[in-house]
């Protein structure tokens, strides 16, 4: 593994910390309503609290063993899978994954690599499945360099309801493949941008599980280290 600081996962509990301060008040309110005899209100608040808590669930995943496997960075449905032009003018591949409000929203590193850049951009909040969302929506792009020198970019993109992107790593840290590094709240999209020599393994419409399913094959993608499942 390359020298330098190693990223330490913070999202290791069964639920992301956000569940406490978003779902907690709703569940407390349900308890208060029940104590006051307001059954319908109690049921409504309890149901909403459970739904919000489920949004922040963080299940453990067993990673594929194949060394060349590029992992899905998120749960959801593939809305884009094809060739794109990279910032340097060369051709590459993009896999776009739409996360509905029912999907797990914790993001995972698709490959092991050193964080070489973190860039924020965009100012819109279009529906995440809109093709224009990838260039106009508020987004955060993290670029990783694998041990083999390949550059892989993973992009967190807000959606129509989402208003906050969480990304824990900093430039210079080494991420293990499958490491849970951040999340997007309430509906979003996560893209993986790969070099041209990668071989895509998914098609539009396919449903994926983050950290478990393979989106592409790229020699040297796994690098050194894998996150615990």
Helices vs strands, H then E, count in the chain: 3, 14
Q: From CA 49, how far away is CA 25, in angstroms rounded?
A: 8
Q: From CA 117, how far away is CA 152, in angstroms rounded?
A: 11
Query: Of these residues, 100, 117, 188, 229, which one is catalytic?
Result: 188
Beta carbons of 73 and 108 less than 8 angstroms apart:
yes
Report CA 125 to chain centroid distance, whole Å.
17
Among residues 197, 95, 203, the alpha carbon closest in space to that of 146 is found at 197
* Residue 229 among the catalytic residues: no
Residues known to be catalytic: 188
């Amino acid at each position: 593994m390359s020298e330098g600081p190693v990223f330490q996962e913070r999202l290791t509990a069964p639920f992301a910390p956000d569940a406490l301060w978003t779902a907690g008040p709703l569940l407390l309110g349900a308890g208060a309503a029940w104590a006051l005899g307001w059954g319908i209100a109690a049921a409504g608040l309890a149901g909403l609290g459970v739904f919000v808590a489920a949004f922040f669930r963080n299940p453990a995943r067993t990673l594929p063993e194949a060394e060349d496997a590029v992992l899905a960075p998120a749960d959801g449905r593939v809305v884009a899978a094809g060739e794109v032009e990279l910032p340097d003018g060369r051709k590459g591949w993009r896999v776009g994954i739409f996360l509905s409000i029912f999907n797990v929203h914790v993001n995972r590193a698709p490959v092991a690599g050193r964080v070489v850049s973190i860039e924020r951009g965009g100012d819109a909040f279009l529906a995440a499945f809109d093709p224009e969302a990838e260039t106009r929506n508020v987004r955060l792009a993290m670029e990783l360099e694998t041990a083999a020198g390949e550059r892989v970019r993973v992009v967190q993109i807000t959606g129509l309801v989402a208003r906050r992107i969480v990304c824990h790593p900093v430039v210079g840290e080494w991420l293990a493949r499958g490491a849970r590094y951040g999340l997007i709240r309430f509906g979003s999209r996560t893209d993986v941008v790969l070099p041209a020599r990668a071989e895509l393994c998914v098609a539009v419409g396919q449903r994926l599980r983050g950290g478990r399913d393979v989106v592409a094959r790229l020699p040297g993608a796994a690098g050194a280290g894998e996150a615990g499942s």
